[in-house]
Chains A and B, each alone.
Chain A
């Protein structure tokens, strides 16, 4: 029986700010009530992750992003055909689209928490700025996990991502 909420952070712990997603998972595992929440981590998104969305009520992806204007960004996702053919690193919206293609049904409500990253070199730790952004994002994620309700999450989300 799968847990109703999936929290999926992805990135490489040894590539500087790329570790932001997995590090946020470490924070919530230590500080939040995770009853009913499955924690999943990987280096990057791939096609088979579409199957991890099955039978969920709510999904939160967490990733580093160079495109954030602020410390973090929180947005609701809709399935999108990723026309880019560099899809070995799929966008979360493309994973939702794969789910739709495979399962022939609408994916569960999915959100993306993007945390601003700046440096991604092999062997580097988090940059000083990213540490601050992570702290803010962790606080925000903690609040989200206290209210695992799609209506409340939707109210928090911007519509800048799809």
Chain B
């Protein structure tokens, strides 16, 4: 692996390169490289700088505010936080998952599939397709959805309409596109009307068809240059996620399964309320973000990946036919029990997109989603844990409340935190294998961002005020003198200032 590049020896003799911020990821992160005199990479790190304050934001609030409040943690996956919070709060009102009314359980799943569908569509069509269709080192002007719309108009329009469809599922189930209150303690606050159900059914076959086509496209892209795609940013890791009792892919509720790089089971069907017995979080001095790891394997070997690649690797099968056929092809393309290619995240993500589309159709045809028994009640408890498979991976919400229903303690492990070590390893692999010894240019540095973007990290900034996000690269020598500087302004204009 590339752990030797986490901390360089003799830093005083090295040049420093900063990629800040990493673009087309949600929120704010930066990459720093230390280079020796021959431009050989001696240290590479991904810094994520926006992760403070989640717990403080939640603590001191009445628990019933949380399903709406936590949506504001993330402008991209608010529904995932909404549902994870709702699951934790079900426990605070004394309702176990198996006691949730059938209609409420199915409506939450429908909401979740809608969220995953639109999030995955955004990531592939909007954020990643420019890299995958035009090349990782292509002209910067081409690396945007606008260029995709120009050169692949059908594909671009499909991406827009798939996003819109997922948003409509969310709007109809939760009442609003954002800030909805679909899930409430112990259930849901509304069911679907027949008119809403029929409206969503009108386009679902088209969504399935486009999803299947996108799986075929990513398979073609990946397999057209298999050695490269299987090597780029690739690392061997453990994998963790939820699983159904029979081993099928599970995105809403199940036990925790973790497998190692050989596909051997580490833990299986673990009750997620006991996650603290199996997962710990390490703090490192150079970043605000924690490094979770499996306790049984220790800090050094216990880190793991979550998200689409982990889920598709971990499951025994997928319970919808088209996605299962796609999963079998995906697994067959590798000689190993687990697919380790970081770029295979894209392929796995689109298999899940197809699974979501198929699952939405199944649920829309289930009369339970129009049922009116929507809320269960129970005895108050003082602690609740909710875990869900968010688009980017396993998401943990853990709350404790006092006798006045105020949250006294909150702990969140968000998906991107779980992938923190893996993203750093992938950055180091790309830095060592693709950048080391070469003159750094903006297209070359995009390789680092491609590796990070494969994980679809959500750095959860969720602010977007006009004028806030330029990209700046600086090359600084050991004495702190700036040798080279690239600035990309918000209008896309590139400015270069070379001093050295």
* Cα A18 to Cα B130 with chains together (Å): 29
Instruction: Say yes or no: is A107 at the interface (Cβ < 8 Å to chain B).
Output: no
CA distance in complex: A102, B152 (Å): 11
Does A88 lie within 8 Å of B53, measured CB to CB?
no
Interface residues as binary, A114-125 with B (CB distance below 8 Å gives 1, 0 otherwise): 100100111100
| A98 interface residue per 8 A CB criterion | yes
Q: Is A126 interfacial (CB-CB < 8 Å)? A: no
Asked whether, in the complex, the Cβ of B122 is within 8 Å of the Cβ of A15, the reply is no
For B456-473 the 0/1 string (1 means CB < 8 A from A) is 000000111111110100
Contact of B163 with A46 in the complex, beta carbons under 8 Å:
yes
B381 within 8 A of A: no
In chain B, positions 122-139 with a C-beta closer than 8 Å to chain A are 122, 125-127, 130
Q: Using Cβ atoms and an 8 Å threshold, which residues of chain A touch B76?
A: 43, 88
Residues of chain A with a CB closer than 8 A to B465's CB: 11, 17-18, 63-66, 117, 120
Of all chain B residues, the one with the shortest Cβ separation from A81 is B146
Whether the Cβ atoms of B467 and A67 lie closer than 8 Å is yes
Q: Is A50 part of the binding interface, using a Cβ–Cβ cutoff of 8 Å?
A: yes
CB of B62 within 8 Å of the partner chain: no
> With an 8 A cutoff between CB atoms, is B23 at the interface?
yes
Within 8 A of B (CB), among A10-45: 10-15, 17-18, 40-45
Q: Are B163 and A47 touching (Cβ within 8 A)?
A: yes
Contact A44–B144 (Cβ < 8 Å): no
Please determine whether A66 and B466 come into contact, CB atoms closer than 8 angstroms. yes
Q: Does B24 contact A (CB under 8 A)?
A: yes
> Which of B229-237, B262-270, B341-349, B487-495 touches A?
B487-495
Stretch of B153-161, B304-312, B397-405 with 4 or more beta carbons under 8 angstroms from chain A: B153-161
Q: Inside 8 A of B156's CB, which chain A residues have their CB?
A: 101-102
Most buried by B among A18, A85, A117, A120: A85
Segment among A89-97, A131-139, A141-149, A150-158 that sits at the interface with chain B: A89-97
Interface residues of B, CB < 8 Å — how many? 56
The total of chain A residues at the interface (CB under 8 A) is 45
Asked if A2 is at the interface (CB within 8 A of a chain B CB), the reply is no
Q: Which residues of B contact A42 (CB under 8 A)?
A: 177-178
B89 interface contact, C-beta 8 A? no
Residues of B within 8 A of A55 (CB): none
In the complex, A83→B139 CA distance in Å? 11
User: Which A residues are in CB contact (< 8 Å) with B288?
Assistant: none
- Among residues of B, the one whose C-beta sits closest to the C-beta of A116 is B465
CB pair A84 B153 closer than 8 Å = no
Residue in B closest to A68 when the chains form the complex, CB atoms: B466
A/B interface sample: 26 pairs, CB < 8 A: A12-B75, A12-B462, A12-B463, A13-B179, A18-B462, A18-B464, A43-B78, A43-B464, A51-B160, A66-B466, A66-B467, A66-B468, A83-B141, A83-B492, A84-B488, A84-B492, A85-B140, A85-B143, A85-B144, A86-B21, A87-B145, A88-B24, A89-B469, A98-B145, A98-B149, A102-B157
Q: Which 5 residue pairs of A and B lie closest in terms of their CB atoms, listed nearest first? A: A83-B492, A43-B75, A14-B72, A89-B464, A48-B163
Residues of A within 8 A of B (CB): 10-15, 17-18, 40-48, 50-51, 63-67, 81-89, 91, 94, 97-98, 101-102, 114, 117, 120-123
Given A11-B464, A86-B24: 19 more A-B contacts, CB < 8 Å: A12-B72, A18-B463, A41-B178, A43-B462, A44-B464, A46-B126, A51-B160, A51-B161, A51-B164, A65-B465, A67-B467, A83-B492, A84-B488, A84-B492, A85-B492, A87-B145, A101-B149, A122-B57, A123-B57
